[in-house]
Structure formats: C-alpha cells, structure tokens
Amino acid sequence: WNSATDEAKFYLNGVLRQTIISTTQNIVSPLSTDNLIMGRWLTSGSFWDGMIDDLRIYNYVLTAGEIATLATVPRRTKVLIRR
C-alpha cells in the first residue's frame, strides 16, 4: 500500500499483476490503527482461496526493481536494501 498515491500493487514472482487505486476502485484506505489482515478484503467477507507462501512486510514502499530482485532470492536468504 502506498499512502501517497492511494495504490495497492500486487506482484507475482516479481512481476506487477494488478494495481488498485482506492479512489477509483472502491477500496478503503487502511489506517495505521487498522489490524493487519492477510487473505481477506478489509471491508467484506471475501477470503483468499489458496496459499500464501512468501509474505514480506516493509515500512516503506519498494520500487519495482527491488521487488523483482527479491523475487529471485531464495527463501530464508537475508537481503539488505539500503535507503
């Protein structure tokens, strides 16, 4: 989630697959006080029907290049991205 642009971007194997803009696609912007819920829309009972095998959470927005790099790193390998 990029709060500066109100966009949520979804990547699969390092490739951008979907961008949702909250102002045009009727999603609710998360607040810093919201609970973190994975696999379910914030405002509905729709649940993810599948597995999430690699989840990473950052306190800043990654670039597309950083995401592509992370997708090629084997799991359980530590990667340092310097800002």
User: What digits encode the pLDDT tens for the residues 21-36?
Assistant: 876 555 555 666 667 6
| Cβ count within 10 A of residue 8 | 16
To 10 degrees, the CA torsion angle through 2, 21, 71, 15?
Answer: -150
- Model confidence at 71: pLDDT above 80: yes
Q: Which two tokens stand for residue 69?
A: 């790099």
Summarize pLDDT for 34-46 with one digit per residue, the tens: 676 777 766 667 7
